[in-house]
């Protein structure tokens, strides 16, 4: 085969373009942020030579290209060939461009593996090329720190050299021959080494070389194709898999580039897709993320109109129904709901379509709450391939039913090529055959093809491969299809699909629960502010008639949802992205606080009585849930010294803080029980080495825990007012801890100035509890996970996600640990020095990865953590108390819009309806994991109430047990059931 491959490389490929003519090039450098076409075309362009350097990091250069198509050149063979100076890196991670006609209409994108532009009929032409000098930030093996991810440190060196711009004539026969050869050559590498089919292909390829003249490839290409025809005509086995090939171009909303560059990547990709669709009937392209369509509508309205027409024609299929392809571990339940609500609303409004599949091929694990949310949004199917990245355990199914914490099920598929960027080459298709787990029971699989992340999407070469592999011996059968048709076929052929219950934990990228902690704080805080803003605005609208700020709230949600994208919230993007996110969170806080203050002012009036607004679902300090009233004081216990220890004591707990700043004793006075194991202290800060094997910001490795040390040498431990204050300091890092005992709850407040590199900071609570599992809050409920390491599946979960609380317990007794902005947890059982069993719960506070942001997490951070003996109900309540602190205001007390009689049934959101009718929408869920009865009583009147889906469309629900018109609703909720109620025509 060496002879064949040399002939392909040095004879066939160079002959694809048989003639080339030079063009005249001039250029204008923007010298800053991108500008619209109309502004660029009006600038003064200077002559520019082939071979000249261009493009400082993140800058844009516009090239004005003028040339002439010679007489006799047919349009289907005439192209402008472009090489912006492409490197050997993967497409999507370097220079890209968009080509315009002089009237401003878009022609096509340019990327390393899609670097041609169609030209008009013979005669003169002019094109303008908007070239983005995106630097190569990706370091695929070394993951070395790079300054290129921050405009302030990226420097001024040119990134590229213009290598080619020419009018070229493509030899269609030679090009087709090349596709024949590539198809067959690929099979040679995947077929059995001594099999007859492989030998037949090798023989045919050798014969092709024999009959062709290397000095006249164009003249003999037809002979070469004739020799290969019989082996290409040999049909696939009847039992071959059927690959439904769907065009795709997974585009991260931000990653190794900022969101402003994603806007342009989307335009380039859709331009390519539209051009390809014009040339290849039957081609279908699936694209997710309403945000990306919205960007296109704003930045390229004419191109968006063409996309709208392609959607109507069935060529482009909006999929997923989410605003972005978000992370699913860390967003709150209401945020995941809004991902689908805003996404589906956009697709319905702009295209009149509603996708039935949720599309998350690249998120870092999947919460067990998701199946219920998917079904409640009116979707039936779920797609991902990320679990194929698992380090240790292989997921046992490719097509299956995924069951969530409430029992909801959704039909799920993992494309067995284990990529969403397939080229439909032999390697990907062979992997599809090997990896498909339902062989024998099913034959239909999904194949997503196209270069992603701005790499250009599907190409004509990929479609040529699909055409040749429709029925080819040695390959699965490839059929151009669409996602919905595939899911219908896959679901129909599996009469009894296997079932996977619970979360789909990704055994990789666990560090994403910790990296870029300021962004995570911004997310948690923004979710709380949005809850408050909607609640008080809805209350003010119903009770006082004030206008509801629909537009402001929608814009705020769009920003929060964008920032939950799976490379922003997880902390795995360049510095530019995270700096921008922190700024957006600051702006959101100001805007939402202004909305909250305005609503509270309208509600409470002009009085001067001190009040507290309680947006939480439980009464606190005498203020009713969802209400506004005077708050009782909550004094903390007064610290006192006892020898070398400091004692905090109230009716429930007696706490002793030792001279090293750790907890020497925590006694539950009610249960007469010491929480700490004998000979072990608690509330210990621990510092670990954090040097991942690869993927710095993404990964933490379990072996690094062997290098940890306890921080037991504070520079000071003392008493200040009602708190114990502890300071740790080393190098440039300072940690200030404030410990209080308030109403039977031990509260920690951390102020940290962090200047470490490749270190991981944890807070450890060893507990005298014999537990086999721990409980973690997730969206709309909680999840039990084993904390032993009996199996490889258990051992792999050495860092797990939780939201506002975790709980560790044994029959009849437990401890709840709540937080205000921690997602990463590490809970394991073990033994104390005296040999008795214990359980250690650790919260992961901070880390300091170096790639892709070398300054990740440097600077100031704040955390609040609380510990309390109690059960799940106490954990839920403490979690909400951390999340939604009372807000101080003044005026007259205000009655809540509604109350719920059972604390197990939690109000997650109160808002006005999305259709702007003024109806009140209340979202509730069962939080304790029981069957719970509750009555929802309203302080406002209403004409009727109905259960709805997440898009607020009425549907039957067994949870609604009885209705007292205009007054109350009786509910019977299943464990973790999610319920949306719509109260129509509310009146004060």
Q: Residue 139: what pLDDT?
A: 62
200: which residues sit within 8 A by CB, 6+ positions away? 231, 234
**Do β-strands 628-629 and 610-613 pair in parallel, antiparallel, or remain unpaired?**
antiparallel
pLDDT greater than 90 at residue 801: yes
Residues 6+ apart with CB under 8 A from 81: 17, 20, 115, 116, 164, 165, 166, 168
Handedness of CA 190, 193, 195, 201 (dihedral sign): positive
Within 10 A of 76 (CB to CB), how many other CB atoms are there?
A: 10
- pLDDT band at residue 825, thresholds of 50, 70 and 90? very high
pTM of the model: 0.98
Segment 599-619 shows an average pLDDT of 96
DSSP assignment string, 315-367 = SEEE-S-SSS-B-SSSS-HHHHHHHHHHHHHHHHHHHS---SEEE-TT-S-B-
Alpha helices in 798-864 (DSSP H): none
Q: Is 852 helix (H, G, I), strand (E, B) or coil?
A: coil
pLDDT value at 187 more than 60: yes
Single out the residue of 910, 937, 912 nearest to residue 924, CA to CA. Answer: 910
Closest residue by Cα to residue 402 from 487, 495, 488, 501: 501
- Name the residues annotated as catalytic: 362
Q: pLDDT tens for residues 486-523? A: 999 999 999 999 999 999 999 999 999 999 999 999 99
Say if residue 142's pLDDT is above 70. Answer: no
Mean pLDDT of 762-786: 98
Q: Please report which helix (H) or strand (E) contains residue 837, including its range.
A: strand 837-847
If one counts every other C-beta atom within 10 angstroms of the C-beta of residue 935, the result is 17
Inter-residue contact 212 to 174 (CB < 8 Å): no
Q: What DSSP string runs through 693-752?
A: SS-TTT---GGGGGG-EE----SEEEEETTEEEEEEEETTEEEEEEEEEETTEEEEEEEE
Do the strands 106-110 and 824-831 form a parallel or antiparallel pair, or are they unpaired? unpaired
Residue 305 CA to residue 302 CA, distance in Å, equals 5
Distance CA 267, CA 985 (A): 43
Q: What is the mean pLDDT of the chain?
A: 97
- Judged against a pLDDT cut of 90, whether residue 895 lies above it is answered with yes
Do residues 181 and 201 lie in contact, with contact meaning Cβ atoms separated by under 8 Å? no
- 898 touches 637 (CB < 8 A): no
**For residue 954, which phi and psi values (nearest 5 degrees)?**
-60, 140
pLDDT at residue 1 greater than cutoff 90: no
Q: Which of 648, 640, 679, 690 is nearest to 666 (CA)?
A: 648
Region of residue 144 (phi > 0: left; psi between -120 and 50: alpha; otherwise: beta): beta
Dist CA 975 CA 905 (whole Å): 10
Helices (H), 15-78: 37-41
Q: What is the number of alpha carbons within 13 Å of residue 662 lying toward its C-beta?
A: 19
- Containing 18, the helix (H) or strand (E) segment is strand 17-22
List of residues 6+ apart from 885 with CB closer than 8 A: none
pLDDT of residue 144: 81
Query: For the chain, first and last CA: distance in Å?
Result: 82
| CA–CA separation, 963 and 974 (whole Å) | 18
- Report d(CA 167, CA 20) in Å as an integer: 5
Parallel, antiparallel or unpaired: strands 898-900 and 837-847: unpaired
Tell me if 451 sits within 8 A of 421, measured CB to CB: yes
Residues 6+ apart with CB under 8 A from 282: 480
For residue 490, give the 3-state DSSP assignment.
helix
Q: Rounded to 10 degrees, what is the CA torsion of 87, 89, 95, 97?
A: 110
Say how many CA atoms lie within 13 Å of 349 toward its Cβ. 13
Residue 88 pLDDT class (50, 70, 90 cuts): confident
Distance in angstroms (rounded) separating the CA atoms of residues 367 and 493: 27
SS3 882: helix
Between helix 460-468 and helix 259-279 the angle, nearest 10°, is 50
Average pLDDT over every residue of 592-614: 96
What pLDDT score does 944 carry? 97
* Residue 478 DSSP label: E
Beta-carbon contacts of residue 111 (< 8 Å; ≥ 6 apart): 91, 92, 96, 97, 268, 272, 451, 454, 455, 456
- In angstroms, the CA 59 to CA 566 distance is 26
141 pLDDT more than 60: no
Contact 98, 130 (CB under 8 A): yes
- Work out the average pLDDT over 536-541: 98
For 884, list phi and psi in degrees, rounded to 5: -130, 75
pLDDT for 272-327, tens place per residue? 999 999 999 999 999 999 999 999 999 999 999 999 999 999 999 999 999 999 99
């Amino acid at each position: 085969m060496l002879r064949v491959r040399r002939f392909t490389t040095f004879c066939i490929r160079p002959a694809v373009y048989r003639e080339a003519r030079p063009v005249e090039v001039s250029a204008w450098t923007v010298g800053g942020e991108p500008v619209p076409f109309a502004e660029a075309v009006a600038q003064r362009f200077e002559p520019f030579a082939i071979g000249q350097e261009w493009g400082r990091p993140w800058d844009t250069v516009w090239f004005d290209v003028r040339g002439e198509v010679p007489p006799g050149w047919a349009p289907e063979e005439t192209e402008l060939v472009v090489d912006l100076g492409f490197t050997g890196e993967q497409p999507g991670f370097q220079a890209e461009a968009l080509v315009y006609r002089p009237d401003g209409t878009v022609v096509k994108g340019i990327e390393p593996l899609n670097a041609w532009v169609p030209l008009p009929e013979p005669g003169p032409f002019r094109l303008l090329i908007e070239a983005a000098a995106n630097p190569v930030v990706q370091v695929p093996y070394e993951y070395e720190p790079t300054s290129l991810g921050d405009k302030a440190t990226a420097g001024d060196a040119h990134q590229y050299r213009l290598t080619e711009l020419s009018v070229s004539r493509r030899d269609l026969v030679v090009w087709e021959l090349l596709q024949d050869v590539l198809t067959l050559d690929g099979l040679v590498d995947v077929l059995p080494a001594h099999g007859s089919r492989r030998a037949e292909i090798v023989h045919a390829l050798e014969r092709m070389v024999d009959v062709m003249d290397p000095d006249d490839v164009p003249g003999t290409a037809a002979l070469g194709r004739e020799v290969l025809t019989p082996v290409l005509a040999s049909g696939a086995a009847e039992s071959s898999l059927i690959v439904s090939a769907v065009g795709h171009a997974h585009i991260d909303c931000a990653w190794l580039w900022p969101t402003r560059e994603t806007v342009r990547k989307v335009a380039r990709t859709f331009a390519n897709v539209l051009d390809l669709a014009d040339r290849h009937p039957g081609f279908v392209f699936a694209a997710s993320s309403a945000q990306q369509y919205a960007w296109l509508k704003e930045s390229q309205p004419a191109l968006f109109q063409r996309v709208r027409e392609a959607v109507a024609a069935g060529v482009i299929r909006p999929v997923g129904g989410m605003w972005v392809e978000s992370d699913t571990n860390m967003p709150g339940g209401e945020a995941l709901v809004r991902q689908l609500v805003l996404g589906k609303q956009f697709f319905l409004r702009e295209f009149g379509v509603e996708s039935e599949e949720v599309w998350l091929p690249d998120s870092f694990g999947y919460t067990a709450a998701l199946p219920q949310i998917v079904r409640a949004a009116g979707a039936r199917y779920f797609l991902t391939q990320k679990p194929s990245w698992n380090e240790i355990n292989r997921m046992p199914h490719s097509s299956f039913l995924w069951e969530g914490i409430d029992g909801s099920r959704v039909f799920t598929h993992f494309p067995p090529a284990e990529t969403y960027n397939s080229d439909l080459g032999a390697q990907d298709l062979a992997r599809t055959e090997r990896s498909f787990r339902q062989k024998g029971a099913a034959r239909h699989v999904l194949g997503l093809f196209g270069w992603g992340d701005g790499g250009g999407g599907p190409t004509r070469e990929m479609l040529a491969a699909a055409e040749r592999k429709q029925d080819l011996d040695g390959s699965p059968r490839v059929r151009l299809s669409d996602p919905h048709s595939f899911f219908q076929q896959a679901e129909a052929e599996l009469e009894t699909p296997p079932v996977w219950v619970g979360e789909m934990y990704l055994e990789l990228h666990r560090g994403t629960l910790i990296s870029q902690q300021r962004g995570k704080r911004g997310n948690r805080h923004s979710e709380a502010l949005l809850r408050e803003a909607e609640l008080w605005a809805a209350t003010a609208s119903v009770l006082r008639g004030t206008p509801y700020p629909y537009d402001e709230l929608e814009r705020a949600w769009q920003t929060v949802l964008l920032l939950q994208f799976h490379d922003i919230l997880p902390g795995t993007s360049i510095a530019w992205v995270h700096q921008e996110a922190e700024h957006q969170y600051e702006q959101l806080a100001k805007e939402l606080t202004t909305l909250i203050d305005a609503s509270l002012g309208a509600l409470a009036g002009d009085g001067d009585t001190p009040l507290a607004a309680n947006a939480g679902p439980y009464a606190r300090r005498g203020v009713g849930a969802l209400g506004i009233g005077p708050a009782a004081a909550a004094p903390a216990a007064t610290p006192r010294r006892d020898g070398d220890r400091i004692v905090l004591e109230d009716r429930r707990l007696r706490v002793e803080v030792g001279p090293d700043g750790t907890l020497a004793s925590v006694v539950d006075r009610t249960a007469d029980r010491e929480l700490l194991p004998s000979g072990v202290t608690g509330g210990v800060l621990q510092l670990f080495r954090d040097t991942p094997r690869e993927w710095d910001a993404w990964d933490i490795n379990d072996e690094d825990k062997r290098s940890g040390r306890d921080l037991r040498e504070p520079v000071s431990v003392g008493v200040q007012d009602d708190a114990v204050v502890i300071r740790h300091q080393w190098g440039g890092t300072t940690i200030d801890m404030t410990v209080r005992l308030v109403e039977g709850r031990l509260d920690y407040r951390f102020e940290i100035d962090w200047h470490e590199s490749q270190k991981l900071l944890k807070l450890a609570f060893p507990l005298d509890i014999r537990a086999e599992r721990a409980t973690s809050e997730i969206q709309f409920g909680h999840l039990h996970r084993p904390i032993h390491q009996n199996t490889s599946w258990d051992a792999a979960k050495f860092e797990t996600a939780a939201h506002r609380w975790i709980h560790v317990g044994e029959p009849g007794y437990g401890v709840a640990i709540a937080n205000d902005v921690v997602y990463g947890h590490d809970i394991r059982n073990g033994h104390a020095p005296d040999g008795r069993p214990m359980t250690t719960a650790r919260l992961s506070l901070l880390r300091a990865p170096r790639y892709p942001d070398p300054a990740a997490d440097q600077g100031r951070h704040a955390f609040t953590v609380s510990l309390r003996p109690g059960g799940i109900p106490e954990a839920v309540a403490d979690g909400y108390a951390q999340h939604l602190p009372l807000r101080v205001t003044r005026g007259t007390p205000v009655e809540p819009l509604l109350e719920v009689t059972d604390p197990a049934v939690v109000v997650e959101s109160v808002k006005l309806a999305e259709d702007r009718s003024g109806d009140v929408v209340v979202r509730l869920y069962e939080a304790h994991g029981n069957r719970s009865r509750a009555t929802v009583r309203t302080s406002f009147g209403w004409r009727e109430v109905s259960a709805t889906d997440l898009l607020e469309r009425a549907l039957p629900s067994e949870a609604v047990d009885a209705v007292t018109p205009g007054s109350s609703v009786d509910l019977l909720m299943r464990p973790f059931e999610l319920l949306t109620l719509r109260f129509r025509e509310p009146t004060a």
